[in-house]
Amino acid sequence: MGVKTWLFQLLLLSFVLLSTVNKGSAGITSTFIRSEWPSTDIPLDNEVFVVPKGYNTPQQVHITQGDYDGKAVIISWVTTDEPGPSKVQYGTSEKQYSYSAEGIITNYTFYNYKSGYIHHCLVDGLEYDTKYYYKIGVGDSSREFWFQTPPKIDPDAHYTFGIIGDLGQTYNSLSTLEHYMQSGGQTVLFVGDLSYADRYEYNDVGIRWDSWGRFVERSAAYQPWIWTVGNHEIEYMPKMGEVVPFKSYLNRYATPYMASKSTDPLWYAIRRASAHIIVLSSYSPFVKYTPQWHWLREELKRVDREKTPWLIVVMHVPIYNSNEAHFMEGESMRPVFEKWFIHYKVDLIFAGHVHAYERSYRISNIHYNVSSGDRYPIPDKSAPVYITVGDGGNQEGLAGRFRDPQPDYSAFREASYGHSTLEIMNRTHAFYHWNRNDDGKKVATDSVIFNNQYWASNLQRRKLKKHQFMNVVSHATY
Ligand SMILES: [Fe+2]
C-alpha cells in the first residue's frame, strides 16, 4: 500500500469516526464573524479592474462549458473600439494554434449606456483531460489564455468543484476570489448574484457589469464558471426605462442550455467528470406545468448514476435557510421540487442569496400538506444536503442574524465570507470544505465527507447480499 493511499485511508477513517460522533447532535452556530473589509465596492480606477492596453484589446474574458459532456467550451469576451473578429485560435501547445473557431457578436443598451461588442465563441470537438491554449484579438492587441478540459465522463473520475455565490466587487469579493484560486478548484459552480451592478443607477449599471467582467477574468478566463441566475440579474428598472428582465446577464453570460434540451438559458444541465449538475432558475416560473417544471422532470430521468454518480443541483434561493435574511423565500419552490429531489436521491443542493454560510443535515418535509401530515422537516436518508454559500462578499454585507434557536435541520452556520470546494474522490466519496476568508490563508472551517447517495445505498445492498450468501453457504456445509 502506497503512503498516499495509507494517508487517504487514515483521513477517511478519522472523518468517519468524527461523523459518527457528530451524528444526531445539535447543529452548530458559529459565533465567529469575520468581515475584514468594509462592504463597499472597489473604486473603478483600482488595478483589479484594469483595462488591458491597446486598441480594441479583448477584455472581460470568461469561459463556460459548451456542451452536455465537457468536450466544448464557450469563450466570451468584450471589445470596445470596434466589433473586430470573433475568432478563437486554439491548440494543445503554447503559441501553436492549429485550430480556430468563429463566434458571434452581440451588444445592447441599458438606459444611455451602450455595451461593448460582446463575443461568444463555441469551441467544440475537444479532447478530454487536455490542456488547451487559446488566443483572441488581433496583432499587438491579441491575448492568450489556457484551460484544461475535464476527464471523460466516468463514475470514478476525480474532480474538484468550487462553489461561489453573491460575489460582487468589494475587497471581500477579491479576498474570496483569491482564496478560491489557491484552492485547487477546477470549475466554479456559481450560485447567482454576479456583479451587483443593479445597486447602481443609469449608465453606471453597465459600467459596473464591465468592471466585474474584468475582475473575475483572473479565474474565469482559465476555468469554466457554471452560471446560475440570481435576483441581482433581473434588473427590472422601470425608472430608467429598463423592463426586460436579465438583459445584461443574458447578453454577457452564455450557457449551453440547448445541449440539455432546455428552452431557456436560465435553466440547464451539464455532465462533467463524475457529476451531473442541474442548474435551476429561482426567478423563472417553476410551478407545475411550466417549461422549467417539464424540463426538470425529463432531465432527472436522463441522470445515469452508473456514469455520473454525483447528482448536484444549484439554484439561487435556498430551500432550507435559518437566517433572518430571506427566511422562507425558498418555500415556494420546496413543495414543487422537493419530492423529486428525494425520489432521485440528489446528493447536494447548493444555493446562495443569503450572505452567510449554512449546511443542513439530510432532511425532508415532503409529507406536510396544509391540512395534515408532519409539520416539521424530518431526518431522511434519501434527502440531499442543502448548502448555502451566499457569502462571496458583495457590497450588501453579511447576513449576521440567524434565527434562534437553531432549527434541528441546520448542521452548521456562520456569518463570514468564504467559498466551498467539493473534491469528488470516486463514485462513493467526496471531500467537502467551506473555507472562510482569513488572513493570507484558506481556513477549512466546515469539513464533511459525503457518501454518494446512489452508490452508498448500493454498497449497503451488496453487503447485505454477501451476508445472506455467506449464511446460505455456512448452512449448506452442515
Ligand atoms: Fe440574491
Instruction: Count Cβ atoms below 10 Å from residue 186 Cβ, excluding itself.
Output: 20
CA distance linking residue 228 with residue 79, whole number of Å: 24
Q: Give pLDDT, residue 27.
A: 87
Q: What are 287's three cell numbers?
A: 410551478
163, 366, 345, 378 alpha-carbon torsion, rounded to 10°: 80
Kindly indicate the confidence band of residue 463, based on its pLDDT and cuts at 50, 70 and 90: low
pLDDT at 12 over 90: no
**Bridge-based pairing state of the strands 187-190 and 310-314:** unpaired
Cα of 217 from ligand 1 centre, angstroms: 22
Kindly indicate the confidence band of residue 38, based on its pLDDT and cuts at 50, 70 and 90: confident
Quick check: 384 and 347 in contact, CB under 8 A?
yes
- Enumerate residues with CB within 5 Å of ligand 1 (an ion): 193, 230-231, 353
One-letter identity of residue 461: R
Kindly indicate the confidence band of residue 374, based on its pLDDT and cuts at 50, 70 and 90: confident
Over range 93-105, report the average pLDDT: 97
CA distance linking residue 248 with residue 240, whole number of Å: 14
User: 42-60 pLDDT, tens per residue?
Assistant: 999 999 999 999 999 999 9
What DSSP designation does 74 have? E
DSSP letters of 198-262? GGS-THHHHHHHHHHHHHHHHHHTTS-EEE---GGGT--BGGGTB-STTHHHHHH----GGGGT-
pLDDT at 1 over 70: no
Lowest average pLDDT, out of 59-63, 236-240, 298-302, 440-444, goes to: 440-444
Cα of 269 from ligand 1 centre, angstroms: 21
User: 282-319 pLDDT, tens per residue?
Assistant: 999 999 999 999 999 999 999 999 999 999 999 999 99
pLDDT at 476 over 80: no
Quick check: 63 and 76 in contact, CB under 8 A?
yes
pLDDT at 82 over 50: yes
pLDDT at 478 over 50: no
Cα of 464 from ligand 1 centre, angstroms: 45
Q: Domains in the chain, ordered, with CATH? A: 154-463 (3.60.21.10)
Cα of 357 from ligand 1 centre, angstroms: 14
User: 325-334 pLDDT, tens per residue?
Assistant: 999 999 999 9
pLDDT at 365 over 50: yes
Cα of 354 from ligand 1 centre, angstroms: 7
Q: Residues with catalytic annotation? A: 326
